[in-house]
Amino acid sequence: MNSKLIYYQIYEALKKDVADNIYNSGDKLPSENHLSKRFGVNRHTVRRALQILKNEGILFSKRGSGVIVQASKLKYKIGKRVRFSQNIANENNIPKTTIIRSEYRKASKIEADNLKINSKDEILLIETTGKINNIPTIITKRIIPNKRFPSFLEIFQKELSITHTLKLLGVNDFVRSNTNIIAELADSIQANLLNCKINSPLLKTTYVNQDLNCIPIEFSQTWFVGERIQLTLED
């Protein structure tokens, strides 16, 4: 309204900078201190402008790190054959997978049921984050039967792809048996991994991939940042 207000002018200036791709998706903005010098105002005045842009979902800030430009929504196809890398690369986006945790332990009842293995058989847990265009967007937690694929982790660490890993293990094709989708709120750890706010809505998908003989290969859960992903179901 009142274009005389300093913080509003700064808000407009920064919004224009983002629109003009002076700051691109995933980029860090100059620090609040730098911006306050650039505009000749107090840091708090800059923060007020930034706050509006954060509320609009255009910017996101991380304490100690900086303020970054948010990405626009990506479409993610879900169907019988879901392949993360292909899914993303098709749209000229660059996917990147990072392992953040792996451990061997005994299967819980739910895991055993879904994998059709004996309760307390050993499983491999792999947790990964997926960045799209360098913006963290996905967390995946996979449960894999260790008995059938004892060298899974070793190969996956090099390949960073389920499709490639399974191919090297002799599984040339696999399909999803079903996918359940629910909405959850991000806890503090997820928020940190996904560069989103605590309590941001996440899409959580739970599914089982199985080979063509209908033997389960992995029981997995994937969390998507709701603001950045739009799931599309295909037949």
Partner DNA sequence: CTTTACTATACAACTATACAACTTATAATT
Partner DNA sequence: AATTATAAGTTGTATAGTTGTATAGTAAAG
In order of 137, 160, 231, the CA distances from 79 in angstroms are 19, 21, 10
Q: Are 184 and 163 in contact (CB under 8 A)?
A: no
Within 8 A by CB and 6+ apart from 212, the residues are 173, 174, 175
Nearer to a copy of itself, 10 or 117 (CB): 10
Strands 95-106 and 122-132: antiparallel
Interface residue with DNA among 3, 20, 55, 64 (CB under 7 A) is 64
DSSP per residue, 92-126 = T--EEEEEEEEEEEE--HHHHHHHT--TT-EEEEE
Query: What angle (nearest 5°) sits at the alpha carbon of residue 125, between those of residues 124 and 129?
Result: 140
Under a CB-based contact definition with an 8 Å cutoff, are residues 180 and 206 in contact?
yes
**According to CB under 8 A, which residues from 181 to 210 bind a copy of itself?**
187-189, 192-194, 198
Residue 15 engages DNA in binding (rule: CB under 7 A): no
138 lies in the binding site for a copy of itself (CB under 8 A): no
Residue 31 found at the interface with DNA (CB under 7 A): yes
Q: How many residues bind a copy of itself (CB under 8 A)?
A: 30
Starting at the edge strand found earlier in the chain, the sheet holding 201-210 runs: 95-106, 122-132, 135-145, 216-225, 201-210, 175-185
Using CB under 8 A, which of 86, 98, 157, 172 touches a copy of itself? 98
26 binds, among a copy of itself, DNA, none (CB under 5 to 8 A by kind): none
Stretch that binds DNA, among 40-48, 77-85, 94-102, 165-173 (CB under 7 A): 40-48
DSSP annotation string for 170-196: T----EEEEEEEEEEE--HHHHHHHT-
State yes or no: residue 212 binds a copy of itself (CB under 8 A): no
**29 scored as a contact of DNA (CB under 7 A):** yes
Which amino acid appears at position 78 of this protein? I
- Interface with a copy of itself by CB under 8 A: which range of 73-81, 97-105, 155-163, 225-233? 97-105
Q: Is 72 in the site for DNA (CB under 7 A)?
A: no
Q: Which is nearer to a copy of itself, 69 or 82 (CB)?
A: 69
Which residues of the shown chain bind DNA in the complex (CB under 7 A)?
A: 5-7, 29, 31-34, 40-45, 47-48, 50, 61-67, 192
Which residues of the shown chain bind a copy of itself in the complex (CB under 8 A)?
A: 4, 6, 9-10, 13, 22, 30, 34, 37-42, 64, 98, 100-101, 103, 105, 127, 129, 136, 187-189, 192-194, 198
